[in-house]
């Protein structure tokens, strides 16, 4: 579904590389988390996938085709500035379709309505984002990401600003959405427990520049509950991952 082949990248103002000959791949339908301490380049990887940044060399493929000259191959939910505050929820959700220009007004209204229903926000299309709770705003932003119609979803620390209880409900909710929608999800987090709860595989950024992502299979099937996290295999992987991250945080 997604493949990096020897991708290198550096920011213009830096004299060091963020990514150096990075290769990895994600299979169709997988839920994969990328973890690493703050500032290690997680969001940079996402910005390269959705072409907000341009790589220096290497290839990025989605469905075996280069992303160059393509549009609409991924839905990106950024870390912050999720919804435009001056637009209603409905107008925010229409945005990806307005950009694509492939739907009539009536089709857009219908799609917004049915997607809001799916994410449990029926009837809220005329509210402003400021009138919603933090968890509801995240769901609305996720709904907008779904409305890009892409099979590849890039979610950048979507729950990091939420309080603990809202966050764990949103994690359960996201797994339900993923199981129903059959999308491929690449999920960034710095929270090891969140990565373990959600993903089939965890990719760890271990060194800088990023030359490889170390892949760990999560030793637990789906569906999952919070109790899955207390299995001894999960606990020992959690400790192993925390150790790796702490070592790396000391290097940054």
Q: Which is nearer to Mg ion, 97 or 205 (CB)?
A: 205
Task: Kindly give the residue spans of alpha helices, DSSP state H, lying in the chain.
Answer: 42-49, 89-100, 105-118, 134-146, 164-181, 192-198, 232-251
For residues 116 to 135, the per-residue mask of contacts with Mg ion, x marking binding by CB under 5 A and - elsewhere, is: --------------------
C-alpha span between 171 and 160 (Å, rounded)? 11
Q: Which is nearer to Mg ion, 125 or 157 (CB)?
A: 157
Q: From the DSSP assignment, how many helices (H) and strands (E) are in the chain? A: 7, 10
Shortest gap between Cβ of 191 and ligand ADP (angstroms)?
Answer: 13
* Longest CA span, the chain: 54
Shortest gap between Cβ of 99 and ligand ADP (angstroms)?
Answer: 23
- Nearest to 221, CA basis, from 185, 197, 191, 237: 197
Taking CB atoms, the residue at the shortest distance from Mg ion is: 43
Shortest gap between Cβ of 44 and ligand ADP (angstroms)?
Answer: 3
Query: In a 10 Å sphere around its CB, with 0-12 CB exposed, 13-18 middle and 19+ buried, how is residue 113 labelled?
Result: middle
Shortest gap between Cβ of 79 and Mg ion (angstroms)?
Answer: 5
Q: Which is nearer to ligand ADP, 215 or 225 (CB)?
A: 215
Backbone angles phi, psi at 89, to 5 degrees: -55, -45
- Nearest to 32, CA basis, from 215, 164, 161: 215
Shortest gap between Cβ of 188 and Mg ion (angstroms)?
Answer: 6
Shortest gap between Cβ of 173 and ligand ADP (angstroms)?
Answer: 23
Q: Which is nearer to Mg ion, 48 or 108 (CB)?
A: 48
C-alpha span between 188 and 198 (Å, rounded)? 11
Q: Which partner from the list Mg ion, ligand ADP, none does 41 bind, CB cut-off 5 to 8 Å by kind?
A: ligand ADP
Q: Which partner from the list Mg ion, ligand ADP, none does 33 bind, CB cut-off 5 to 8 Å by kind?
A: none
Position 44 contacts Mg ion (CB under 5 A): no
C-alpha span between 126 and 121 (Å, rounded)? 11
C-alpha span between 153 and 66 (Å, rounded)? 17
Q: Which of 32, 40, 43, 143 binds Mg ion (CB under 5 A)?
A: 43
Q: Which partner from the list ligand ADP, Mg ion, none does 13 bind, CB cut-off 5 to 8 Å by kind?
A: ligand ADP
The binding site for Mg ion (CB under 5 A) comprises: 42-43
């Amino acid at each position: 579904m997604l493949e990096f082949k020897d991708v290198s990248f550096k920011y213009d103002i830096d004299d060091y590389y963020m990514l150096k000959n990075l290769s990895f791949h994600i299979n169709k339908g997988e839920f994969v988390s990328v973890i690493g301490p703050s500032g290690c380049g997680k969001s940079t990887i996402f910005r390269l996938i959705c072409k907000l940044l341009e790589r220096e060399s290497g290839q990025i493929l989605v469905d075996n085709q280069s992303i160059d000259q393509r549009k609409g191959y991924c839905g990106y939910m950024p870390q912050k500035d999720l919804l435009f505050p001056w637009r209603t929820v409905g107008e925010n959700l229409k945005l990806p379709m307005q950009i694509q220009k492939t739907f009539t007004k009536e089709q857009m209204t219908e799609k917004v309505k049915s997607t809001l229903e799916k994410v449990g926000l029926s009837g809220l299309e005329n509210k402003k984002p400021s009138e919603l709770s933090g968890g509801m705003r995240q769901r609305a932003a996720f709904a907008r990401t779904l409305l890009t119609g892409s099979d590849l979803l890039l979610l950048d620390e979507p729950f990091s600003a939420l309080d603990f209880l809202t966050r764990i409900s949103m994690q359960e909710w996201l797994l339900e959405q993923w199981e129903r929608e059959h999308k491929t999800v690449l999920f960034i987090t710095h929270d090891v427990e969140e990565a373990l709860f959600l993903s089939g595989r965890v990719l760890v950024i271990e060194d800088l520049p990023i030359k490889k992502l170390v892949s760990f299979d999560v030793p637990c099937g789906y569906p999952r509950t919070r109790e899955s996290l207390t299995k001894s295999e999960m606990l020992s992987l959690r400790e192993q991952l925390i150790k790796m991250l702490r070592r790396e945080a000391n290097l940054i």
